[in-house]
Amino acid sequence: ILSLAAVLIFSALGGLWWPEQIEPDWMRRFSPIVFTTWAMRGLTDIVLRNRDLVQIAWPVTMLMVEGAVMLLLAMRLFRSRYASR
């Protein structure tokens, strides 16, 4: 249930349900932190704005950075829980 709640929250913050422009200010402040924002920006740029991969380098870079941070956190958590076994 917690994972479903996280998916729904990230979807709402990232603009998957509605455009970012109509989100309240408090949601817009948190949206750059969430990876779904960058995925949606890149997808929108490709599909609606007819941009190529070079032009969406920033959203792709942000997704890679967030992915690397999550991987490092997961590795640290895994080591702390299972290194003593």
pLDDT at 47: 93
CA distance 5 to 19: 20
CA distance 1 to 85: 29
Instruction: Report which DSSP code applies to 35.
Output: H
> Could you give the residue ranges of the DSSP H alpha helices within the chain?
2-14, 25-30, 35-47, 57-82
Task: Tell me the mean pLDDT in the region 61-84.
Answer: 92
Residue-averaged pLDDT of the chain:
91
Q: How many other C-beta atoms are found inside a 10 Å radius of the C-beta of residue 62?
A: 17
Task: Tell me the mean pLDDT in the region 70-77.
Answer: 95
pLDDT tier at 20 (50, 70, 90 boundaries)?
confident
Q: What percent of the chain has pLDDT over 90?
A: 60
